Chain A
Amino acid sequence: GESVGLHLPTLSVQEGDNSIINCAYSNSASDYFIWYKQESGKGPQFIIDIRSNMDKRQGQRVTVLLNKTVKHLSLQIAATQPGDSAVYFCAENSLVPFSGGYNKLIFGAGTRLAVHP
């Protein structure tokens, strides 16, 4: 079945270090992936996305890498700051059959990133 999962439920890093959050997906037909950040008491917020025709995409301090061969997605955060402490979710799109073109997002369980001073 379709699934999106994460290897590490909790990641602790020192302020200033780089962080890498990993995600495995199982649906080889997915062509779009998103990383969301969820701070305590808030809804998920978009960080960065990538389409399946790309291997890498960079944003401000964040980079997403996509390895379609092994169905693996990662989020790299450079120079991690205390404000980066949150739960991070990866999500993949999945076309809903007989829906007239609706693509739902399938979310992983999340990884908590804890940044220590």
Chain B
Amino acid sequence: EAQVTQNPRYLITVTGKKLTVTCSQNMNHEYMSWYRQDPGLGLRQIYYSMNVEVTDKGDVPEGYKVSRKEKRNFPLILESPSPNQTSLYFCASSYRGGITYEQYFGPGTRLTVT
């Protein structure tokens, strides 16, 4: 089954404790993105990747890091989480070169930073 998976689905942590949210897709997509979703603000892009070892900042990159060492994986790293990073996070992937820009989303990771 074609899908995007994320782990963990739920995470409660404390300020300053480094964490990683993993994302994996099995559709051989070149493009991958991370979004955060906050009430009333919709989905905002954190980082995106156009291919292995090619990443760039989205609209809200502060406080986040990403890496793309393999095509299927795109982990999101919070080196020193803060309470304002409490949010719902989504990973997405899409095919490069298609006629549409449809993105396929994972199930989400709800992060709480206390």
> Which positions in A face B, CB cutoff 8 Å?
4, 32, 34, 36, 41-46, 49, 89, 91, 93, 96, 99-100, 102-105, 107-110
Q: Which residues of chain A have C-beta atoms less than 8 A from B42's C-beta?
A: 4, 89, 107-110
Q: Which residues of A contact B33 (CB under 8 A)?
A: 104
The stretch from B13-21, B65-73, B78-86, B99-107 touching chain A is B99-107
Question: B43: which A residues are within 8 A, CB to CB?
Answer: 44, 89, 91, 105, 107
Which B residues are CB-close (under 8 A) to A91?
43
- Chain A residue at minimum C-beta to C-beta distance from B104: A46
Selected from A4, A41, A45, A109, the residue in CB contact (under 8 A) with B105 is A45
Interface size in chain B (residues, C-beta < 8 A): 24
Instruction: Give me 28 A-to-B residue pairs in the complex whose CB atoms sit less than 8 angstroms apart, sorted by A's number.
Output: A4-B42, A32-B101, A34-B100, A34-B102, A36-B105, A41-B107, A41-B108, A43-B105, A43-B106, A43-B107, A43-B108, A44-B43, A44-B105, A46-B102, A46-B104, A49-B100, A91-B43, A93-B101, A100-B50, A102-B31, A102-B48, A102-B50, A103-B101, A104-B45, A104-B58, A107-B43, A107-B44, A110-B42
